[in-house]
C-alpha cells in the first residue's frame, strides 16, 4: 500500500489506517478477542501500518486487543492511542481529565496494555477546559523527551487550541470526524493544518457505516450501539440522507467500485497528508476498504461528487447534544 506522511514530524504511515474502536466499543458487543486479533493481523498482512485505539474504548479492552495483535510485528507498525478521561464506577461514565499527573498515569497504563515501551502517536482525546492546553502539550513534550512517546496529537480540537498546543510541542496530527457527510473541517481546520504542517486523520470516514449503503430505512440499533443516540441516525434522517448514498452508488457503479471505496478515495484525494482510519469487524469489508487506496478519482469524478453533494442537504446532528459540547474547543 502507498505511504503518506503526517505533518512535519515526518510520521510515515499507510495511506489508510485501521480504526480499531469498533472491535471493542461503540457498536454493540465486543468482537471475540481471537477474531479481533485475526482481523488486525490480516490488516498488517495487507500493508496497513497505522492502527488507532484509545484507553476509553472498552474501556481498556481495545488497547489490550491491539497490543496482543501487534506485539509480533511491533517494529513494522505505528500505534496511536489517546488519553483524556477518567471513568465512573460503572466504567461507562466518561469524565474529562487531562491533568498532567493523569496523563502520565494514563500513558503508563497504555504502554502496558499495548505491550510496548513507546507510543508512536499520543492524542489528547478531547480538550479539557479545566486544564490549559499548554500544560497538556508540555506534559507530552516531557514524555517525548523521556522516550515514552514519539509524536503528539489532538482530537476534535478547535483552531485556537491547535495553535496554542503547537507552539509548545509540535502537533503531528489532528484526528477529527470528516467524510462526505461531515465536511465542517474544510471551513477552518484544514487551512490551519496546512499552514502549520499538521497531518489529518479522519475518523468515521464512512459516516459510521452509513456511506457503505448497508444502513437502510427502517434500520434499528441496540442500546449498546452509539448510533442509537445519534440524531443523524434517526428514522427521519436516515430516510432523508439516503439521497446521498444513492448518488454515491451511481458514481461508484460508473467507476466499477463500491460506494464505500468512493467515499474513502474522495478523502484521500483532498490532501496528501490526510490518512483516513475506517474501522470494521469483517475481513471482506477490510479488503474492500483497503482497495479504495488504489481507486483513482479524476477531476471530472471529483466534480461529479461535488455537484452531487451540492444537491443533497444532510439532515441530523452528528452527536447528541451532551457530546456536542466536547468538540471544537
Residues annotated as catalytic are: 57
Q: Report the alpha-carbon distance of residue 143 to residue 127 in Å, rounded.
A: 19
Q: Report the alpha-carbon distance of residue 199 to residue 177 in Å, rounded.
A: 14
User: Within 13 Å, how many C-alpha atoms sit on residue 277's CB side?
Assistant: 27
Collapsing DSSP to helix, strand or coil, 181 comes out as: coil
Q: Is 187 exposed, middle or buried (0-12, 13-18, 19+ CB in 10 A)?
A: exposed
Q: Which three cell numbers stand for residue 317?
A: 446532528
Number of C-beta neighbours around residue 12 at 10 A? 12
Residues comprising the chain, all counted: 329
Q: Report the alpha-carbon distance of residue 12 to residue 77 in Å, rounded.
A: 10
Q: Report the alpha-carbon distance of residue 154 to residue 249 in Å, rounded.
A: 33
Q: Which three cell numbers stand for residue 3?
A: 505511504
Residue with cell 460506494: 259
Angle at CA of residue 208, ends 106 and 215, nearest 5°: 150
Helices and strands (H and E) in the chain: how many? 11, 11
Q: Report the alpha-carbon distance of residue 53 to residue 62 in Å, rounded.
A: 6
Angle at CA of residue 148, ends 146 and 152, nearest 5°: 100
Amino acid at each position: 500500500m502507498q505511504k503518506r506522511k503526517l505533518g512535519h514530524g515526518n510520521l510515515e504511515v499507510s495511506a489508510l489506517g485501521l480504526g480499531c474502536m469498533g472491535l471493542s466499543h461503540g457498536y454493540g458487543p465486543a468482537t471475540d478477542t481471537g477474531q479481533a486479533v485475526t482481523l488486525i493481523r490480516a490488516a498488517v498482512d495487507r500493508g496497513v501500518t497505522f492502527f488507532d485505539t484509545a484507553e476509553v474504548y472498552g474501556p481498556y479492552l481495545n488497547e489490550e486487543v491491539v497490543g496482543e495483535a501487534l506485539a509480533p510485528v511491533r517494529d513494522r507498525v505505528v500505534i496511536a492511542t489517546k488519553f483524556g478521561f477518567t471513568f465512573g464506577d460503572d466504567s461507562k461514565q466518561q469524565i474529562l481529565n487531562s491533568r498532567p499527573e493523569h496523563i502520565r498515569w494514563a500513558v503508563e497504563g497504555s504502554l502496558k496494555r499495548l505491550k510496548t515501551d513507546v507510543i508512536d502517536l499520543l492524542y489528547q482525546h478531547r480538550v479539557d477546559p479545566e486544564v490549559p492546553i499548554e500544560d497538556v502539550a508540555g506534559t507530552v513534550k516531557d514524555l517525548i523527551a523521556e522516550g515514552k512517546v514519539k509524536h503528539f496529537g489532538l482530537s476534535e480540537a478547535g483552531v485556537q487550541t491547535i495553535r496554542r498546543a503547537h507552539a509548545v510541542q509540535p502537533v503531528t496530527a489532528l484526528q477529527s470526524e470528516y467524510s462526505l457527510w461531515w465536511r465542517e473541517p474544510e471551513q477552518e481546520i484544514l487551512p490551519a493544518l496546512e499552514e502549520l504542517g499538521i497531518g489529518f486523520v479522519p475518523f468515521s470516514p464512512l459516516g459510521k457505516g452509513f456511506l457503505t449503503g448497508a444502513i437502510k430505512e427502517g434500520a434499528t440499533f441496540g442500546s449498546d450501539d452509539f448510533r442509537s443516540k445519534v440524531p443523524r441516525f434517526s428514522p427521519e434522517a436516515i430516510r432523508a440522507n439516503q439521497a446521498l448514498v444513492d448518488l454515491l452508488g451511481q458514481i461508484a457503479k460508473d467507476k466499477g467500485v463500491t460506494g464505500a471505496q468512493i467515499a474513502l478515495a474522495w478523502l484521500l484525494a483532498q490532501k496528501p497528508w490526510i490518512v483516513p482510519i475506517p474501522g470494521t469487524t469483517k475481513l471482506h469489508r477490510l479488503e474492500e476498504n483497503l482497495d479504495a487506496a488504489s481507486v483513482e478519482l479524476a477531476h471530472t469524478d471529483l466534480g461529479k461528487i461535488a455537484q452531487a453533494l451540492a444537491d443533497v442537504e444532510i439532515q441530523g446532528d452528528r452527536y447528541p447534544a451532551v457530546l456536542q459540547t466536547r468538540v471544537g474547543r
